Each structure stands twice: as C-alpha cells, then as structure tokens.
Amino acid sequence: QGQQMWGGRFSEATDSFVAAFTASVGFDQRFAKHDIQGSVAHATMLGRCGILTQEEVDTIIQGLHQVQQEIDAGEFNWSIALEDVHMNVESRLTDIIGTVGKKLHTGRSRNDQVATDIRLWLREEVDNIVELLVKLQSGLLNLAEQHTDTIMPGFTHLQTAQPVSFGHHVMAWFEMLNRDTERLIDARSRINQMPLGSAALAGTTFPIDRTITAELLGFEGICQNSLDAVSDRDFAIEFTSAASILMMHLSRMSEEIILWMSAQFGFVQIPDRFCTGSSIMPQKKNPDVPELVRGKAARVFGQLITLLTLMKNQPLAYNKDNQEDKEPLFDCVDTLTGSLLAFVDMLPNIIPNKESMRAATMKGYATATDLADYLVRRGVPFRDAHEVVGNAVALGIKEGVDLSELKLEQLQQFSDAIGDDVFDYLTLEGSLAARDHLGGTAPNQVLQAVARGRERLAQYNIDVK
C-alpha cells in the first residue's frame, strides 16, 4: 500500500489523482514547527504518565529535533503520498529512529493534532499582528500630536460640515484600530485553548494527563469536550471576523487618503515610496498602496464567508471538510499582515497640506453651526437660529464670500441678537477651541486624547520602536 500509514484494511492503493486531491501537505507544511512542538510535548507527557519509557521519549524527541533541522535546512522531502504535514513528519521520524517512532501517535489522532497545530500557529500570528497594530497606533499618536491645530473640514455626507482638527481625525483612526487590537487580544484567549488529548473524537483509553501538555505548550486552557475540540473552527472564524473588521477600517482610511490625494481635494501627500506612476501619463502619482489595501479588504471578507460556509453543515465531530480551513486562514493572515506592514510605515508619514485644508474649510460655511450656537446663547431658540443662519449662508453664497467675510450690518439684518463679537465665533480657530470637552475637537482636548492613548498602548507592553 505504498507509503501510506493507514493501509492495513485497504485492498488497493489510493488512486494517484485521489492521493493528490486529498493531500494537504502542499500548504499545511506551514505548520511543521508547531506540529513538532506539539509532538515533543505529547511524547513528554506520554513519558511522564508512564505510557512510554523515558528512553523511548528521549529517542523520539531527538528524532523530532533532527526532522526540524532537515526542514529548516530545506532538505526535507515532502511526500504527497503521506498526505499531510503530520504524517510526513511522523514517517520521517520513524525513518530516522526506527520502530520507536511509531509509538509517538499513541493516544493521539491527527484530528486533535491538526486542531492543536492551527491554534499554536494562529496564536503566534495574532501576536505578530497585534504588535504591528500597536506600532501603527503609536505612529498615529505622534502624527495627531503634531497636528492638533491643523484645521480641515469635517464631513458628513461628504459635504463640509464643521471644522475639525486634523489631529482629531487621526485620533478617530486610532480609536478604530484600538478596538481592533482589543478584539484580537480577546479572540486570542479563545484560540489559546488546547484540543490535544481529545484524540479522534472521544478521548483515549490511555491514562494521559492533559494538564502536562497544556502547560508545556503554553495553552491557557484545555478544551473541555473532545467532540467539540476536534471539530469546531469557531476560533479561526472569530479571528477572521476580527480581521475583516480591521481590514474594513484600513479600507476606510485608504479611501480617505485616496480622496485626499486627488487634485480636487489636495489635502495630503504620502511618501513616493507608496505610490507608482503611469506608463502613459507622465504627471501621475497613483496611491497604489491604499488602493490595494482597499481591494484586499474584499479578499479577507471573502475568506470569512468561506470559513463560515465551510463550518455550517458539519455534524460532529471531525470531517475532512475542515482541511479546507487552512488556505483561507493563511490567506487572511498574510493579507492582513501585509496590509498592516504597509500601513505602519505609510499612515504615520502622511504629509498634510495645511493651506489647502484651511482653504477648503473656509469654502463650505463650516462655522454655520457656531453662528447658530452663538444666537442660542443670546436667547434665540435653536430652530429660529437655524433659520437665521440659513439666510446668512444664502447671502454668502450669493456674494461668493464666507460667513466671516460678511459685514456686521449684513448679518444683523437677519437677527438683532448679533453683536460685533460675532466674528470671534466665526473663525475656524474659535470654532475648534469652543468644542472643549472630552471627545471634542478642541486642540487641547486632542492633546489630552493623545496622552491617554499613550497610556492605553503602554498596557500592551510592546516595544513600538
């Protein structure tokens, strides 16, 4: 029965197409390190529980280390006939150390083995992603701090609404990403639970001690039901869902940068290293990186749907369907990690064009609400104030000037509650400074938000340099 490790009950070899079709080694060899790590812990536990002798365990562990070295050196001969990473590693182990290698799989199944490998691998990837996220957030704090009083139009419906500090806008991005960081850290605790010991589905007849393997592998908990442990991939779906939300945020930021880089906005530039030119139009500098990240979000959402759909019809316990969990998950991790790597360098290095942001803010009657609020403070009911300011805006549009450029008498024709101090409230600086409460855009509030942001990041204990 060729190389196969389960050939005992079969009367003919697997069709060569079927062998290739059912094999996962082409992609799951990515788990090799974690598979070996899991096997070392499993063997150690078998020894401590008296299921294998210490001598057998030592031989197995030495053999596993040699397998790891061969893989690291690129000398390992991956075989499709051996289906997956698990059987490739085990088979090579037996080649190296002889029959005792065949004892490693005592009290274990590939079903709990693969579930363990995915979790060990994903836990590491999440740590890497969280580190990138925190670096990105830290870069945004630095950017926001430099621009607490850089003024830009704030938008609703993509129409100029009220003046805001560019630093305040950047801090909105910070908040979005901080929830993503929290979501991933939270998901990590459910990823970090150990299926090993569940064996194929029902547990094992050997007197194993799962607390030993859990401790050796750094799991913070042990999956409590063997059927559930080998079958559910909800932890991967949860990760992909957090990844999708994060990509949705990166995509929104990308969209803003792309818009802001257009000649029509002219609000920001990003360094040339994130852009490419056109092969025909010599003047072009295209925001390729943000455009691509916006596109890549679609891909991650797709992987989320793939995993949800993969899971939804599966009866307990393990089904081969689950072999299809790996490529979507790998793609999701790689796409997200790549996008974050680009953003860590790009986003904090945005170069705002203060003059054009200011000019745009002056154009859209952004201080109209400030004028209405001014009238309210002088006793005019808000709805009436709204009407008065609407009339003033209409006059401004007709004359082609901003509210602050209208004459006092022109303004007073709409309401006698308007005094000559009104212009203090119509300036962009006055408008910003007036929103002086927690969460508001006043420059000193943005500065405080940055300081609080630094404290919040400190708790993650990540070197942001």
Supply the residues annotated as catalytic: 157, 278
**382-399 and 368-377 helices, crossing angle to 10°:** 140
**CB-based contact 287:275 (threshold 8 Å):** yes
Q: Which is nearer to ligand ARG, 31 or 219 (CB)?
A: 31
Neighbours of 243 (CB within 10 A): 28
Rule CB under 6 A: say whether 91 interacts with ligand ARG.
no
Rule CB under 6 A: say whether 306 interacts with ligand ARG.
no
Calpha distance 39→92 (Å, rounded): 13
Sequence-distant (≥ 6) Cβ neighbours of residue 342 within 8 angstroms: 274, 289, 293
Shortest reach from residue 331's CB to ligand ARG, in Å? 15
Site for ligand ARG in 108-147 (CB under 6 A): 110-111, 114
Shortest reach from residue 334's CB to ligand ARG, in Å? 18
> Exposed, middle or buried, 72 (CB in 10 Å: 0-12/13-18/19+)?
exposed
Chain mean position to CA 294 = 13
From 205-213, 308-316, 318-326, 409-417, give the range in contact with ligand ARG by CB under 6 A. Answer: 318-326
Rule CB under 6 A: say whether 35 interacts with ligand ARG.
no
Rule CB under 6 A: say whether 269 interacts with ligand ARG.
no
Interface map 51-90 toward ligand ARG (x if CB under 6 A): ---------------------------------x------
Shortest reach from residue 318's CB to ligand ARG, in Å? 6
Which residues are registered as beta bridge partners of 268? 352
**CB-based contact 230:119 (threshold 8 Å):** no
Rule CB under 6 A: say whether 165 interacts with ligand ARG.
no
Rule CB under 6 A: say whether 39 interacts with ligand ARG.
no
- The three-state secondary structure class of 402 is coil
Shortest reach from residue 155's CB to ligand ARG, in Å? 47
Rule CB under 6 A: say whether 230 interacts with ligand ARG.
no
Rule CB under 6 A: say whether 24 interacts with ligand ARG.
yes
- Count CA atoms within 13 Å of residue 462 on its CB side: 19
Contact positions toward ligand ARG, by CB under 6 A? 24, 28, 84, 110-111, 114, 318, 320, 322-323
